[in-house]
Amino acid sequence: MKEELEGEWMLGTCGTSWKLSTPSGDIDSTEDEEADVEEAKILEGAKVAAFEAAVDSLLVSFDNQCSLHVVPTAREAQERDVPLWELFMPGNMFVEFHPGGIWSYKRSDLPAS
């Protein structure tokens, strides 16, 4: 079973600003939302080449020369109840990143405590 794939990885942001850089230009979360969804389809089928998380940002690079940079604005980085981003992983686990550099690693198949 060591070689078997177990589920998918899913990245979500919670009202956090982001920028998708593509070979044909940048797509910014502050632009028209409908256009963003269509243009972001360039990521369909792309594989993650690198994943870099820092206290104040997240950078995901893909094998098709695209990169997603999640960087909260000062207003978004203020204390709030929802995470800035979260990564769901195989094995029913996920990691959350909250303002102030607070991380949590939890099970996704259990009720929130």
**For 16-71, what is each residue's pLDDT tens digit?**
888 999 998 888 887 655 555 677 788 888 999 999 988 888 999 999 999 999 98
Tokens coding 45? 């089928």
Q: So where are the chain's domains?
A: 10-107
- Phi, psi (5° rounding) for residue 50? -155, 150
What is the model's pTM?
Answer: 0.78
Of the two residues 97 and 3, the one the predictor is more confident about is: 97
Of the two residues 81 and 53, the one the predictor is more confident about is: 53
Per-residue pLDDT, 1: 44
